[in-house]
Amino acid sequence: MTVGNLKPTVPSPQKSSHFLPQYQWGLVIIAVNIVLLLILRAYCPRELYPWAFGLLFGFVLQRSRFCFAAAFRDVFLIRNTVLTRAVILGLLVASLGFLLLDFLAPGVELISTMGKVHPVGVFTAIGAFMFGVGMVIAGGCASGMLMRMGEGYLMQWVAMIGFLVGSVFGAWHLGWWMDSFISEAPVVYLPNLLGVQGAAVLNFGVLGLLFILALAYESGWKTFSVGVRNASGFIKANPKANPKANPKANPKANPAHTSGEKAAPGGLYRTFLKKPWPYYVGGVLLAVLNVALFALWGIPWSITSGITYFSGWLSSLAGFSPQEWAFFQEEIFWEGHCVLFDYYRSYYMRFPLVYHFMAIIIGAFIAALLAGEYRIRKWRSGRFVVSAILGGLLMGYGARIAL
Amino acid sequence: MENFIDALGEMCPIPIIKAEKVLKKLNAGEKVVLETDHSCSIQSVTGHFEKKHGCVCTVTEVEEGIWQIEIEKI
């Protein structure tokens, strides 16, 4: 049985026709970025953390194949919750980290003043719904789109065009949403309602419950209850257990990447730079990076606002007047300047998170090069282009109105 | 190679759904080979079929950024 129209690719002994192997290109780009970070530290300190952490986020995303879209989508499409649980684990670690920061700096209104505590209402649900549909048909959420752009997927470059256009419309229409819904909506910040301890208990309780539900849903309720009884020692053997299914029990089961790494150093390289990292490692690392970025810079991980400012810059170039749109009226964390570029940069390009989303693409690009798996990948058919553009539009617009 | 799925240029979870369809018709011990350029697949496809279906997967990188995943039904 053959599905699809192409013949299997035959591995060619001549692996690399480039004059430098991919991982060496990766090292060159790392060196360039180190120099760039030193320049930023000296002249543009405001852009240092967004760029440095963008590279790290992109690297971790690519290495662990972390995909927020799959975390929500695969629950329904293939009844698989492995990424869902990794996301929940990441949220647990991040909650713990933010709680720790609150504990280390008591009385300082760290979180409520970072510009991320927004009103909540029907627009949150509408925006989230649009974003959810968008990320599935675009083949990745905002971070997944950036990561795949770095890996060379043309489909996600097209999705980015849709995302930029959607952001423009979202930022433009935000005034209408503000007047109709947002200005009336309550701002709910749980620590103000329940106290920090109460909010923490609720937060960990809900995340823990979701984790267990995800596990139970994937294995089916019957298997899950058997598993729980097994774990608590009531029944010794699970009749469904399959020794071959466990890659550890069967060393033959997962000799991943049998070719490919021949041209490059082995051992540590294979473990950390070639083989994908487990999802939960990705979830934990992203959470740690998020907390670290917030502790060092005062702004947590944020992608869509940077893309929206970039889209604002593009629309001002195209002759529109985004300075009149509601979204660009806010002026947050504007202090500090960059002696190298500020004279040449417009208002929109001075928004530091513009460089953050760009650095995520570069970070993923570096990770893909080091693994020797970068490739310009074309979409399979025109349908994918349409779905990328539509998905991008929905995500860009949804992200703006959900705030 | 009798059972071959060409999923080049297709994003998740299309490769998994296609492979699930083919695997359903196979007998134990039979194999299907999935060729993909979606980098997530080498983690998501192998994980899905090993953990959920108890299959044995082998990944070969046949070219830079193109993988063949052999899935054996047990």
More confident residue, A6 or A51: A51
The C-alpha of B6 sits at a distance from chain A's nearest C-alpha, in angstroms, of 5
Mean pLDDT of A153-161: 97
pLDDT score, position A301:
92
Domain boundaries, chain B: 1-38+56-66
Mean pLDDT of A285-314: 94
* ipTM reported for the complex, 2 dp: 0.95
CA neighbor of B19 nearest in space, from B33, B39, B30? B33
Which amino acid belongs to residue B30?
A: E
Between A133-142, A188-197, A387-396, the lowest mean confidence (pLDDT) is in A188-197
**Structure pTM?**
0.90
Mean pLDDT of A136-146: 95
The whole-chain average pLDDT of chain A stands at: 87
More confident residue, A116 or A377: A377
Q: Considering CB atoms only, which of B3, B37, B58 is closest to A1? A: B3
Mean pLDDT of A334-356: 81
CA distances from B48 to A227, A278, B33, B55 (A): 19, 13, 15, 9
The predicted-structure confidence for A116-137, as pLDDT tens digits, reads as follows 788 999 999 999 999 999 999 9
pLDDT score, position A60:
98
List of residues 6+ apart from A334 with CB closer than 8 A: A350
Examine the pLDDT at A311 and tell me if it is beyond 80.
yes
Examine the pLDDT at A329 and tell me if it is beyond 80.
yes
Q: Are A78 and A303 in contact (CB under 8 A)?
A: no
pLDDT score, position A17:
55
CA neighbor of A369 nearest in space, from A76, A31, A39, A72? A31
Q: How far apart are CA A382 and CA A356, in angstroms?
A: 31
Examine the pLDDT at A172 and tell me if it is beyond 90.
yes
pLDDT score, position A403:
85
What residues in B contact A2, CB-CB < 8 Å? Answer: 3-6
List of residues 6+ apart from A107 with CB closer than 8 A: none
More confident residue, B60 or A247: B60
Over its C-alpha atoms, chain B yields an Rg (Å, rounded) of 11
Domain boundaries, chain A: 19-401
The C-alpha of A338 sits at a distance from chain B's nearest C-alpha, in angstroms, of 37
Q: Considering CB atoms only, which of B22, B44, B54 is closest to A245? A: B54
pLDDT score, position A354:
94
Find which of A5, A16, A65 to mutate to test the B interface (most B CBs within 10 Å of its CB): A65
The C-alpha of B47 sits at a distance from chain A's nearest C-alpha, in angstroms, of 9
The C-alpha of A260 sits at a distance from chain B's nearest C-alpha, in angstroms, of 6
A40-44, A257-261, A391-395: range with highest mean pLDDT: A391-395
More confident residue, A160 or A264: A160
Which amino acid belongs to residue B10?
A: E
More confident residue, A344 or A234: A344
- The DSSP code sequence of A112-171 is TTTT---B-SHHHHHHHHHHHHHHHHTTS-HHHHHHHHHHTBHHHHHHHHHHHHHHHHHH
Examine the pLDDT at B70 and tell me if it is beyond 90.
yes
Query: Could you give the 3-state DSSP secondary structure of residue A401?
Result: helix
Q: Are A303 and A355 in contact (CB under 8 A)?
A: no
- Alpha-carbon dihedral angle through residues A366, A368, A370, A374, given to the nearest 10 degrees: -110
Closest Cα in chain A to B47: A82
pLDDT score, position A336:
66
Confidence of residue A107 (pLDDT cuts 50, 70, 90): low
The predicted-structure confidence for B6-54, as pLDDT tens digits, reads as follows 999 999 899 999 999 999 999 999 999 999 999 999 999 999 999 888 9
Q: Which residues pair with A153 in a beta bridge?
A: A377
More confident residue, A103 or B36: B36
Mean pLDDT of A34-41: 95
CB atoms within 10 A of CB A295: 16
What residues in A contact B39, CB-CB < 8 Å? Answer: 62, 65, 151, 368, 373
CA neighbor of B37 nearest in space, from A152, A3, A391? A152
Which two structure tokens, joined as six digits, stand for A138? 């675009």
Phi/psi for A2 (5° steps) reads: -125, 130
Mean pLDDT of A277-302: 94
Examine the pLDDT at A251 and tell me if it is beyond 80.
no
Examine the pLDDT at A305 and tell me if it is beyond 90.
yes
Closest Cα in chain A to B26: A1
Find which of B8, B45, B64, B74 to mutate to test the A interface (most A CBs within 10 Å of its CB): B64
Q: Considering CB atoms only, which of A1, A260, A380 is closest to B61? A: A260
Q: Are A400 and A174 in contact (CB under 8 A)?
A: yes
Mean pLDDT of A213-223: 88
Examine the pLDDT at A213 and tell me if it is beyond 50.
yes
